Amino acid sequence: MLVIAGLQAVGANDAEAASGLLALCALVGIICIVLPWYYKIPISFAWSTPGAALLVAAGETTGNFAAAVGAFLVCGVLIVLTGLWPALGKAITSIPKPIASAMLAGILFPICLAPVTASIEQPLLAIPVVVVWLVLYRLAPRWAVPAAMVVAGIGIVLTAGTDWMTASTSQPALVFVAPEFDPVVIVSLGLPLFIVTMAGQNVPGFVVMSTFGYRPSPRAVLVGSGAATAVGSVFGAHSINLAAITAALMASPEGHPDKSKRWMATVSSGVAYLILGLGAGLATALVAASPPILIIAVAGLALLGALVTSVSGALEEPRHRVTAIATFLVTASGISILGIGSAFWGLLVGGVFMAWLGWTRRPRVSSGRGGRATAG
């Protein structure tokens, strides 16, 4: 739901949004089958959920979907270059954690407010969703978000009647969108999407894999996912990356008791993605029939954990908390200057704050008698 809402926020029509979801499912499915089978390790991929949240937040920046597609393509190319050129990857991963985490928190914050807003604007639809999520989050956390989505879907169907079913009966199809390369959209959407995908998905994904004793080739992972992003971009797919949460499931004993056979779990997930893609038309029709705030509200519930993690990471170091808060506030504000969205300005302001507040005057060293250094 969040993917469709994000694509529509940057100008996609229903057919283009369905195409984007189909392309994501198909490409994630293929790469989840090919790389694990070749390397015989559980390398798991997914689309970028924080990236989809960024699309929702970037809705005020552009309504030209062709320009958004150009930004997706640039993101994919940058991911490929990161795999081929280690210095670029080092530069991205060296972005201070307080700034990167605060930017992601600022992107997620307005979306995580949506359950509150929806409960006021659409109480009959939203409150049952929130209640079901809250109950299951206490009793069965893994099922809290899926159950909330089911309840939201039931509410949409009951409210919309049978009108939405006409669109859902159409077969999902890929729609080619010729990319336009608008420098403003690339800076405000493409670059933040690349940074969020790398810092929020790929880097944690590698950490999770190493935790379970796996060392996938960074070049193969980044070039593969970046190429898939570039190919999928012209069909509306925003970003594909190494999974983190699902990677923990696939790489752990839950995937298979035998460590050498856990790659089969990832291959199975790839097949599931391919099947899931067949429902892209249905999902798009359901979202189109729903009040937009309800879809974002469900996404907000799903992203609360990511928001908590981002805020914790941003405020972890006391000496950088002012920098983190400044980055968060600018990003969450949704401002647009010169047509460039708030995610870019949040990064810029965070960098300025850290450079200024983190700067300390060095003691002046002079040479005294006997060649001894003295501090001035």
Where on the phi/psi map is residue 368: left (φ > 0), alpha (ψ -120 to 50), or beta?
Answer: beta
What is the number of structural domains in the chain? 1
**Token duo for residue 328:** 């968060």
pTM of the model: 0.76
Nearest-5° Cα angle at 238, 235 to 241: 120
Is 371 part of any domain?
Answer: no
Is 260 part of any domain?
Answer: yes
Is 363 part of any domain?
Answer: no
Rg (CA), the chain: 22
pLDDT confidence of residue 67: 93
Is 6 part of any domain?
Answer: yes
Backbone phi, psi, residue 337, to 5°: -120, 125
Is 138 part of any domain?
Answer: yes
Is 367 part of any domain?
Answer: no
pLDDT confidence of residue 359: 59
Q: How far apart are CA 79 and CA 45, in angstroms?
A: 14
**Structural domain span for residue 110:** 2-357
pLDDT per residue as tens, the chain (376 positions): 678 888 988 889 888 988 999 999 999 999 999 999 999 988 889 888 888 888 887 766 777 899 999 999 999 999 999 989 877 767 766 678 888 888 888 888 988 898 999 999 888 889 999 999 999 999 988 788 889 988 988 887 777 665 555 554 456 788 999 999 999 889 888 988 998 888 778 877 786 777 677 888 888 899 999 999 999 999 999 999 988 767 766 777 766 788 788 888 889 888 988 888 887 777 777 777 777 778 788 888 887 887 888 888 889 888 889 999 999 999 888 877 766 678 788 888 998 998 888 755 444 444 444 444 444 4
Q: How far apart are CA 318 and CA 324, in angstroms?
A: 10
Q: Which residue has the tokens 């002012």?
A: 322
129-136 contacts, C-beta under 8 A, 24 or more apart: 129/155, 129/294, 129/297, 129/298, 129/301, 130/297, 130/301, 133/301
Is 193 part of any domain?
Answer: yes
Is 369 part of any domain?
Answer: no
